[in-house]
């Protein structure tokens, strides 16, 4: 099935951005551990990721694809502002109270050994990879999406299972999230509004107010999803609510919310910087032009044979060829 794109810039150079860590973690936990290479090494994350890319390329037929990675999964600038940021994911041998960001993420051994294979497969196919020192994959995605949109180059599809990236959806520039948790359902501004009752591009503000336990963000005590949505609906943004708060306004705040915001004023200032993705991270220029076929066919053949990936590799080859034919 091919998706017909009617978004702004739909006829341009459609860019697909993969939140690679999100996708391979989901594959690792979603594909049976019994999926192994001939030598017994687990390859469920590799196979799951390759299959996702093949399926999405086959359906969406992008002209460009970049697989984005974490150079730092817990950046120092975020930890300095909110020390609890992702602290629950720190490996047991690490020290969450040590130097900000200088700790290891807890990754299962059976996933850790698959990560070099993922890199090797992407490189053999000629699929672009990108990261930026000191930043997360989310920041890389935001930066590349902004560059593409600012150039008026065409629509952007973000493949992820992370709700944080909902903050990037933008109808006017054709940026959508394809949400892995829901079989890559399209999330645009209307979808964000339908899900949370907030203005479409205000997910970051919503997360700041409500909090996000998955990232170690406490939120504002006493403010849940309903009150957060009410505040954003009334003031349009967190900045608007804080401006009214700082000006001494009383009207428009749900019962008790004004006092709670005042008590959390310092947290709110810090959390905005932590939650908002960086849209100008130092990402090296990358075109991400989608290859029509593997750039190193022999390496692909060897990897497929060694790790038992022939089926997944074949599907990715077919998807690349179909995308190239569609764009010819």
Gap between the Cα atoms of 156 and 175, Å rounded? 5
Burial class of 135 by CB neighbour count within 10 A (0 to 12, 13 to 18, 19+): buried
- The pLDDT score that the predictor gives to residue 105 is 87
- The pLDDT score that the predictor gives to residue 92 is 60
CB atoms within 10 A of CB 38: 10
Contacts 24+ apart (CB under 8 A), 265-268: 267/82, 267/218, 267/220, 268/208, 268/220, 268/238, 268/242
E strand or H helix at 146? helix 137-150
Gap between the Cα atoms of 91 and 93, Å rounded? 5
- The pLDDT score that the predictor gives to residue 8 is 52
Residues sharing a CB contact under 8 Å with residue 105, sequence separation 6 or more, in sequence order: 73, 74, 86, 89, 90, 91
Please give the domain boundaries of the chain with CATH numbers for all domains.
15-194+277-319 (3.40.50.1010), 203-275 (1.10.150.20)
64: which strand partners?
A: 15, 289
pTM of the model: 0.93
pLDDT tens digits in sequence order for the chain, 328 residues long:
555 465 654 558 999 999 999 999 999 999 999 999 999 999 999 999 999 999 999 999 999 999 999 999 999 999 999 999 999 999 864 444 444 445 688 899 999 999 999 999 999 999 999 999 999 999 999 999 999 999 999 999 999 999 999 999 999 999 999 999 999 999 999 999 999 999 999 999 999 999 999 999 999 999 999 999 999 999 999 999 999 999 999 999 999 999 999 999 999 999 999 999 999 999 999 999 999 999 999 999 999 999 999 999 999 999 999 999 998 6
Backbone angles phi, psi at 297, to 5 degrees: -60, -35
Closest CA to 157 of 128, 135, 186: 186
Helices (H), 174-309: 189-196, 203-210, 225-235, 238-246, 257-263, 265-275, 297-307
- The pLDDT score that the predictor gives to residue 93 is 46
């Amino acid at each position: 099935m091919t998706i017909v794109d009617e978004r702004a810039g739909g006829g341009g150079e459609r860019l697909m951005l993969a939140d690679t860590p999100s996708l391979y973690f989901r594959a690792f936990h979603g594909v049976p551990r019994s999926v192994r290479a001939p030598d017994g090494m687990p390859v469920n994350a590799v196979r799951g990721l390759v299959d996702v890319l093949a399926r999405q390329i086959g359906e969406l037929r992008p002209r460009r694809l970049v697989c984005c990675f974490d150079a730092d999964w817990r950046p120092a600038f975020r930890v300095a502002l909110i020390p609890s940021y992702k602290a629950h994911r720190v490996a047991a041998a690490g020290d969450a109270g040590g130097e900000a960001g200088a700790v290891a993420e807890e990754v299962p051994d059976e996933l850790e050994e698959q990560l070099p294979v993922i890199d090797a497969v992407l490189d053999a196919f000629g699929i672009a990879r990108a990261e930026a020192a000191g930043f997360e994959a989310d920041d890389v995605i935001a930066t590349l999406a902004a560059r593409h949109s600012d150039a008026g180059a065409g629509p952007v599809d973000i493949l992820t299972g992370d709700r944080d990236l909902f903050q990037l959806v933008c109808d006017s520039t054709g940026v959508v999230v394809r949400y892995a948790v829901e079989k890559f359902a399209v999330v645009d501004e209307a979808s964000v509004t339908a899900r949370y009752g907030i203005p479409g591009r205000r997910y970051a503000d919503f997360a700041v107010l409500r909090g996000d336990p998955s990232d170690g963000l406490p939120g504002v005590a006493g403010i849940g999803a309903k009150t957060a949505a009410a505040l954003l609906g009334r003031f349009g943004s967190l900045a608007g609510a804080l401006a009214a708060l700082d000006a001494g306004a009383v009207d428009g705040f749900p019962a008790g919310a004004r006092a709670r915001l005042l008590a959390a004023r310092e947290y709110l200032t810090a959390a905005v910087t932590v939650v908002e993705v960086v849209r100008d991270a130092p990402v090296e220029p990358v075109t991400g032009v989608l290859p029509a076929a593997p750039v190193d066919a022999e390496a692909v053949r060897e990897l497929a044979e060694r790790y038992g990936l022939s089926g997944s590799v074949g599907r990715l080859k077919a998807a690349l060829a179909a995308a190239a034919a569609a764009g010819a």
